[in-house]
């Protein structure tokens, strides 16, 4: 099934906000075999909305629309959709009760502006928004479907998962069943992986499809199956998932599509281990990624960002002679940083980084992008030198990813 | 001048990469009075590219195109542009020399794939890409202009600033002069600011325009002037900039459009002060923002991320009785964290955070989103309790921004 996403919002067009909904939608519809034919980002303007819907329906049968539904501006979007699909604006009781409920919980009274959120075109079927006040509106005409959703990513994404995706699948794949499995592989180049899986891919039944999403030392694989026969699909997916796990072996670090820091966190919790970081060039970004995971306080004690050499020696206990002899960006220093983090922050494991993020500070010996990373668990330490390409923020990002991968690998499967 | 941005790339459509070029372009063309009529994100497909150009030129006279120019896929984009604008593919000598130069620097030999990067349609004018191998192509027909640029943000943004924006301005505002001034204001609500500037805005000459970009306690103001008379424009912009500075007074923290962490960094350098952070709920993100600024090692010594209470007491020297009595999320604890960071990391200034980022850990007393922040400089300390709305990552982001703002304010103008 091909679809087009229409993103409405002046704030997106002028670059004040970056659209992440269209990408999220694509990542979550691809497993069902859905293919995005395009994304149109348009202003909060009736003429632009009508023209975009016309152009989209000329190409595809399904249009997903996000934005244009805030309390101060939903008039334009809703009245345009009402004019397009026919009918008149009416009060939707379920939405009004939902708005009341949300406002009561927030302890504020509904005003005329917010009361307007419960008005919807009579030509749509309403899906009540569990996590916000703007209703989701499902329009259908001549076999074509348009679903209008709010622009707030949290609301759109929650309601897509809870209601819109299941209903789209039900509507367009009534007789088909869909199944998918995720696999995260680290430190195997995509080309090497493709060779290893060549035979597996060539012998896949036509109902199954394997997709690759490579990024910075991580390859996310997604096996999707679409078939009429549910029992056959279940068995086939299971046997191919088992076979794929065997082929991936120790390079497979997760069978769900979750962040690396969460994979690491689950391994630590499973083994009852605690974690700290000692960061120079990554400047706290490894700790930031780790603490973005809800519940990380169960295993993450803390971090020492040792930008100054004084902090490396004074707080982490790195030998000053080693800094003088080998430089701050060196194997002995980064290994001592990891050991120091475990000691000072009283943890079993640590990730340590020291490098030249740039744009200045590079030498012919250690050019910009040179990063030493050490990971430690108990008495085992692994360290490695990387040469990253890109600007300061890209070097920091890559070093962060590699540090997480190295500790995941050290902890094993 | 209205324009449309066409973003080419399967990897963007399927959500593997998020487009940030279109927003960047909008933010950098708005000051010249340019208005984005829409953004179209399309696949690497000749039919889709041709259809998008047709639709865009039906609406506007200028199309900016990014992407579709990597060494493995630029054939489609270039041959489609060649078919659209006429002429034939030819070797561009300046681009070939540029590709040679870049490959020589990277120490690799040019292969057939990369040699193709120097082939361009004869109907375009080439702007050599100083920072990459893909050429920028300027097409013009019947008064309509299309500029094709690479998808790599760093390349597009650098070359937009160096060449494309100046040439667009020259082409479409040959007789006009353009000037703009930036102002960053913190901790003044947008509505209060609008009231304070009401008289200023109402008496602005029609050639001048003031735009607001509010976000999380920060309002970025941009004063733009467009006029034929260069001398008049210079004088008028100067007098209005002076008047605006007076009206903003102590709330004005910068007169350039730069990140908050850079504003803070420049204040610290100017006063010869050093900085540390002590972070609980922000988990290293304040340090990360600070160290994203090139040259931050000149004033940033480091950070202690004290997720565990043991680290708060053991490393930062927070009084354990105060944690027991007031809780870790409290004024005495966060103030002691700031003092501890200055002491342990030997700095003049510190930012400290302690809060409930969620989704769990909230109580009726201190619900999710409650964050105490303290900032310290010498013997002066300011602390404040915030109640942020949003999910875990939003709470962390807002606490980070507020911490930076509080120290900027403590340091004064």
- One domain for residues B323 and B381: yes
Give the pair of three-digit tokens for residue A356.
Answer: 């030249």
Q: Among all chains, which residue has been given the structure tokens 């809780």?
A: B327
* A294/B215 CB distance under 8 A: no
For residue A283, the chain B residues in CB contact (below 8 A) are: 287-288, 290-292, 296, 300
- Sign of the CA dihedral B357, A290, B352, B306? positive
pLDDT at A17 over 90: no
Give me the CATH number covering residue A248.
Answer: 3.30.70.2860
Q: What is the pLDDT of residues A347-359, one digit of tens each?
A: 999 999 999 998 8
Does A270 share its domain with A156?
no
Sign of torsion, CA B58 B61 B67 B71?
positive
In the predicted model, is pLDDT for residue B292 greater than 70? yes
**Span of A132-146, A167-181, A197-211, B318-332 with lowest mean pLDDT:** A167-181
The strand pair at A370-377 and A380-387 is best described as antiparallel
* pLDDT category of residue B74 using cuts at 50, 70 and 90: low
Inter-chain residue contact B291 with A396, CB threshold 8 Å: yes
Stretch A179-185: mean pLDDT, rounded? 90
Residues in B closer than 8 angstroms to A18, CB to CB, are 18-20, 23
Q: In this predicted model, what pLDDT tens digit does every residue of B383-405 receive, in sequence order?
A: 999 999 878 998 999 999 999 99
Query: Both A276 and A203 in a single domain?
Result: no
Residues A228 and A1: their CA atoms lie apart, in Å, by 16
CB B269 within 8 A of CB B276: no
Q: In terms of pLDDT, which residue wins out, B66 or B227?
A: B66
At A169 the pLDDT is: 87
Identify the weakest region by mean pLDDT among A38-42, A68-72, A104-108, B146-150: A104-108
Contact criterion met (CB < 8 Å) for A292 and B396: yes
Out of A151, A172, A193, a domain closes at A172
Contacts of B298 in chain A (CB under 8 A): none
Decide which of B173 and B356 is more confident: B356
Which one of A202-211, B68-77, B113-122 scores highest in mean pLDDT? A202-211
Report whether B188 contacts B251 (CB < 8 A): yes
Main-chain dihedrals φ then ψ at residue A70, nearest 5 degrees: -65, 160
**Cα B201 to chain centroid, rounded:** 26
Same-domain check for residues A243 and A268: no
Three-state DSSP at A315 gives coil
pLDDT confidence band for B188 (50 / 70 / 90):
confident
The CA distances from residue A407 to A268, A396, B99, in Å, are 10, 17, 39
Distance CA A226, CA A224 (A): 7
Is the separation of the CB atoms in B97 and B105 below 8 Å?
no
Distance from CA of B167 to the nearest CA of A (A): 21
Tokens matching residue A41: 């980002």
**Residue A190 above 90 pLDDT?**
no
For residue B277, give the chain A residue with the closest CA.
A305
Distance CA B179, CA B279 (A): 41
**Which value, to the nearest 10 degrees, does the dihedral of the CA atoms of residues B65, B66, B71, B75 take?**
-20
DSSP B198-238: HHHHHTS-TTEEEEEEEETTEEEEEEEEEES-HHHHHHHHH
Contacts of A107 in chain B (CB under 8 A): none
User: What local confidence, expressed as pLDDT, does residue B279 receive?
Assistant: 98
Per-residue model confidence (pLDDT) at position B290 = 98
Q: How far apart are CA A12 and CA A347, in angstroms?
A: 44
Other CB atoms within 10 A of residue A295 CB: 14
Q: Is the confidence at residue A278, as pLDDT, over 90? A: yes
- Find the mean pLDDT for residues A42-52: 95
Task: Tell me the percentage of chain B whose pLDDT exceeds 90.
Answer: 69
Please tell me whether residues B342 and B378 are part of one structural domain.
yes
- A31-45, A297-311, B114-128: range with highest mean pLDDT: A297-311
Does position A36 have pLDDT exceeding 70, yes or no? Answer: yes
* Same-domain pairing of B102 and B192: no
pLDDT at site B310:
95
Give chain A's largest Cα–Cα span.
80
pLDDT, chain B, mean? 92
Q: Is the pLDDT score of B222 beyond 90?
A: no
Do A215 and A286 sit in the same domain of this protein? no
Best mutation target, A283, A298, A358, to test chain B (most B CBs within 10 A): A283
Q: Which residue of A has its CA nearest to B3?
A: A13
Confidence of residue A107 (pLDDT cuts 50, 70, 90): low
Reduced to 3 states, what is the DSSP secondary structure of residue B305? strand
How high is the pLDDT of residue B107? 62
Averaged pLDDT for residues B244-268: 95
Strand partners, A156: none
pLDDT tens digits along B236-252: 999 999 999 999 998 99
Place of tokens 């006063």: B271
- Give the total number of structural domains in chain B: 3
In angstroms, the CA A142 to CA A230 distance is 30
State the Cα angle at B199 between B193 and B203, rounded to 5°: 130
- Both A307 and A195 in one domain: the answer is no
Q: Report whether B94 contacts B126 (CB < 8 A).
A: yes
Q: State residue A224's pLDDT score.
A: 84
Is the model's pLDDT at B72 over the cut of 70? no
User: Could you tell me if B290 and B357 lie in one domain?
Assistant: yes
- Binning pLDDT at 50, 70 and 90, where does residue B175 land? confident
Instruction: Tell me if the pTM is above 0.80.
Output: yes
8 A C-beta contact, residue B9 and residue B76: no
Q: Is A174 helix (H, G, I), strand (E, B) or coil?
A: coil
Q: What is the pLDDT of residue A115?
A: 73
Give residue-wise pLDDT tens across range A323-342.
999 999 999 999 999 999 99
Residue span of the structural domain in which B331 resides:
260-411
Question: What percentage of chain A reaches a pLDDT higher than 70?
Answer: 96
Q: In this structure, are B24 and B98 located in the same domain?
A: yes
Look at residue B109 in the predicted model and tell me its pLDDT.
64
User: Which chain A residues are Cβ-neighbours of B295 within 8 angstroms?
Assistant: 360
Which of A172, A199, A227 is where one domain is finished?
A: A172
Q: Do A337 and A399 share a domain, yes or no?
A: yes
Nearest Cα to Cα of residue A410 among A267, A214, A266: A267
Q: What is the mean pLDDT of chain A?
A: 92
* Helix and strand counts by DSSP (H, E) for chain B: 17, 17
B371 closest CA partner among B349, B383, B353:
B353
Answer yes or no: do B283 and A288 touch at CB < 8 A: yes
Indicate which CATH number applies to the domain containing B390: 3.90.950.20
Rounded to a whole number of angstroms, the CA Rg of chain A reads 26
CATH number at residue B237: 3.30.70
* pLDDT at residue B194, as a whole number: 84
Separation CA B112–CA B116 (nearest Å): 6
- For residue A175, what are its two tokens? 């007789």
Residue A387 and residue A188: Cα distance in Å, rounded?
A: 17
Residue in A22, A213, A287 closest to B283 by CB: A287
**Roughly what angle, to the nearest 10 degrees, separates helices A260-271 and A392-411?**
30
pLDDT confidence bin for A176, thresholds 50/70/90: confident
Kindly list the strands in the beta sheet with A252-254, ordered across the sheet, starting from the edge strand earlier in the chain: A208-215, A218-227, A177-186, A252-254
Q: Say how far apart CA B99 and CA B110 lie, in whole Å.
A: 8
């Amino acid at each position: 099934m091909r679809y087009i996403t229409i993103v409405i919002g002046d704030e997106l067009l002028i670059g004040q906000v970056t659209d992440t909904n269209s990408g999220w939608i694509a990542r979550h519809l691809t497993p069902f075999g859905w293919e995005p034919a395009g994304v149109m980002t348009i202003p909060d303007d009736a003429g632009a909305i009508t023209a975009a819907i016309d152009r989209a329906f000329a190409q595809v049968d399904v249009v997903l629309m996000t934005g244009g539904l805030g309390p101060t501006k939903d008039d334009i979007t809703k009245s345009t959709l009402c004019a397009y699909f026919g009918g008149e604006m009416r009060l939707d009781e379920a939405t009004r009760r939902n708005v009341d409920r949300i406002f009561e919980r927030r302890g504020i009274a509904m005003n005329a502006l917010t009361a307007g959120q419960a008005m919807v075109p009579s030509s749509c079927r309403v899906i009540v928004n569990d996590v916000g006040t703007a209703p989701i509106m499902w329009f259908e005409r001549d076999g074509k479907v348009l679903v209008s959703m709010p622009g707030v990513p949290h609301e759109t994404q929650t309601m897509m998962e809870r209601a819109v995706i299941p209903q789209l699948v039900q509507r367009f794949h009534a007789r088909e069943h869909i199944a998918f499995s995720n696999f995260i592989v680290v430190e195997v180049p995509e080309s090497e992986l493709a060779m290893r899986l060549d035979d597996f891919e060539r012998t896949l039944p036509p109902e199954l499809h394997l997709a690759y999403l490579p990024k910075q030392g991580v390859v996310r694989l997604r096996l999707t199956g679409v078939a009429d026969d549910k029992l056959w699909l279940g068995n086939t997916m299971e046997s191919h998932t088992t076979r794929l796990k065997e082929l991936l072996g120790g390079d497979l670090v997760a069978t769900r599509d979750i962040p690396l820091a969460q994979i690491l966190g689950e391994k630590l919790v499973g083994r009852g281990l605690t974690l700290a970081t000692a960061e120079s060039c990554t400047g706290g970004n490894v700790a930031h990624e780790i603490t973005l995971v809800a519940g990380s306080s169960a295993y993450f004690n803390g971090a020492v960002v040792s930008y100054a050499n004084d902090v490396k020696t004074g707080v982490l206990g790195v030998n000053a002679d080693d800094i003088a002899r080998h430089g701050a960006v060196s194997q002995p220093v980064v290994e001592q940083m990891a050991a120091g983090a475990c000691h000072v922050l009283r943890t079993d494991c640590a990730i340590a980084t020291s490098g030249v993020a740039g744009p200045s500070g590079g030498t012919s010996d250690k050019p910009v992008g040179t990063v030493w990373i050490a990971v430690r668990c108990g008495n085992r330490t692994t360290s490695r030198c990387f040469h990253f390409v890109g600007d300061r923020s890209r070097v920091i990002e890559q070093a962060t990813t590699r540090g997480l991968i190295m500790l995941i690998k050290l902890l094993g499967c």
